[in-house]
Amino acid sequence: MKLLLVNPPWKLDSHSVYSATGAIYPPLGFASMAAVLASDKTVQTEVLDAWGLGLGLDRFVQELKSRRPDVIGISMYTTTVVQALAAARAAKSALPAATVVAGGPHASILPEEVIEQPCIDYVVRGEGEPVLPRLLDYLRKCGSSSEPSLSTIPGLTYRHQGRTIHNAGVGYVEDLNSLPWPARELLPMHIYRPASGAYRRLPVTSMMTTRGCPFACGFCSKAIFGNHVRYRSVANVIAEIEYLIERYGVKEIYFADDCFTMDRGRTEALCDQIRTKGLDLTWTCSTRVNLVDPPLLRRMRQAGCVSIGFGIETASVELGDLMHKRISPKDARAALGAARLEGIETRTSYILGFPGEDLESLTRTVNLALDLDSDFVIFNLAIPLPGTDLYRLAKEKHALMCDGFELYPKTDGAHVLIRLEDVPARALEEFYRKAYRRYYLRPRYVLRRLRSLRSPRDLLGNMKGLFEFLRWNRGANA
């Protein structure tokens, strides 16, 4: 049996400031799934990162016809589901006999919606490693005397005699050390890159050391990994880092964990092992402002940490409570100040247009961003992802400006999707763009970026970022 795991062809809307300069990282979920299946000699697994390779739908279909898989697994995020379904329809048209399986966050949140599409045969909900191998076993034995029952495969949604069947959910992979490292050898590793200017050394790759997040931020979807945090051992993580350095010459790693410093002792042990091993590595991560302090940041910097992302979201205590964020501007100032003293670059993100927002709270949030003065900033318009408290809240208030397949392509943080009582949509969009201009076009900021340049490559990366930002801003005001 030939399986093709597909990251479908899609691209960010030109309204997004990151449409031309955003990062392209390897699809680790598919690479992990492929690694799990590598031990099954009855399955030949390939990965097609159509998005990373920049393939259009026509080129994607050509790849399908050339490879002729028996089973096609397609990843679906809410932002990409419309384009992913277009790829699935094209796949069914090109290879009618192929079985098409959908997975990923959107398919897990709204399996009924996805399985209703004629181009989708099965939906895998949640983590795929415990589910897909059993589905492949069923498909391989279909019609034989040893054919297993579909009803025994947990985490599976399918159609049967005109009805949609949702099998019982599958539990999480508790022992992450039991999973093999992602099969990066099946990926075009040479194409992956960080965002323009947002790195110290190349080559860069991404890596996950945990799954799950215990916090309840109302705007966040955790359809795959859930609230239950599971950790890889420090030894397992260090071994993969050593492999990435030896096999791919990796100089920098982006740890894509939801909250890297959740377990302080583990973070300290990992930092100590990086130093003890003398690994030639710089790295970046994301965490919460109330989960770092000066001693921990010093340890992280000494182990090669060069940049940390923090979600600040709002300056409003009331909106912060509504978001279930539970941090304060005081926490943010302390964390960013301590990071700055250690020479660690900071990235902060903010949400504009949460239900209950007004012009005064919007202005306070942007002023807080200017006051904190992080090295990079991301302003997002509130994104009501299905399955989140934000989506339910906006729905209850009849504040969603669109829904369903009209909503999904706009969930990239660059569109006004929630109707505010006191701020018209057009005014909010202009405020969002002005926030970026106020932040990045400050002489003080530009001078600091120039002083931080370390090489001609740095200069080129930052110039590209500036050029694309100015192009985006001109287009927005055309």
In tens, the pLDDT along 91-143 reads 999 999 999 999 999 999 999 999 999 999 999 999 999 999 999 999 998 86
Task: Name the more confident of 202 and 87.
Answer: 87
| pLDDT exceeds 50 at position 368 | yes
Contacts of residue 131, defined as CB under 8 A and 6 or more positions apart, other chains included, come to 124, 125, 153, 154, 155, 156, 170
Give the burial class of 352: count Cβ atoms within 10 A of its Cβ; 0-12 exposed, 13-18 middle, 19 or more buried.
buried
Q: Residue 348 — left, alpha, or beta (φ > 0 → left; ψ -120 to 50 → alpha)? A: beta
CA distances from 301 to 7, 63, 143, 288, 360 (A): 34, 44, 58, 17, 37
Contacts of residue 392, defined as CB under 8 A and 6 or more positions apart, other chains included, come to none
CA distance 252 to 52: 19
CB atoms inside a 10 Å sphere around CB 72: 27
CA distance 459 to 172: 44
- Tokens standing for 375? 């090295």
Per-residue DSSP letter, 409: G
Closest CA to 127 of 154, 166, 167: 154
Q: What is the pLDDT of residue 478?
A: 46
Closest CA to 339 of 351, 350, 331: 331
Place 305 in a pLDDT band, splitting at 50, 70 and 90: very high
In tens, the pLDDT along 317-362 reads 999 999 999 899 999 999 999 999 999 999 999 999 999 999 999 9
CA distances from 304 to 276, 283, 295, 300, 334 (A): 12, 6, 15, 7, 21
Closest CA to 56 of 105, 9, 16, 19: 9
**Looking at the chain, which residues constitute the CATH 3.20.20.70 domain(s)?**
194-440
- Look at the pTM and tell me if it is higher than 0.75: yes
Q: How many CA atoms lie within 13 A of 433 on its CB side?
A: 20
In single-letter form, the type of residue at position 23 comes to A
Between CA 441 and CA 453, with CA 447 as vertex, the angle to 5 degrees is: 115
DSSP string, 184-204: GGGS-GGG-B-STT--SSSSE
Q: Are 1 and 24 in contact (CB under 8 A)?
A: no
Q: Residue 413 — left, alpha, or beta (φ > 0 → left; ψ -120 to 50 → alpha)? A: left
Q: What is the pLDDT of residue 11?
A: 76
In tens, the pLDDT along 135-159 reads 999 999 886 767 778 999 999 999 9
CATH classification of 194-440 is 3.20.20.70, yes or no?
Answer: yes
| pLDDT exceeds 70 at position 422 | yes
**Looking at the chain, which residues constitute the CATH 3.40.50.2300 domain(s)?**
2-166
Average pLDDT value over all residues in the chain: 92
CATH classification of 2-166 is 3.40.50.2300, yes or no?
Answer: yes
In tens, the pLDDT along 148-200 reads 789 999 999 999 998 999 999 888 999 999 999 999 999 999 999 887 667 78
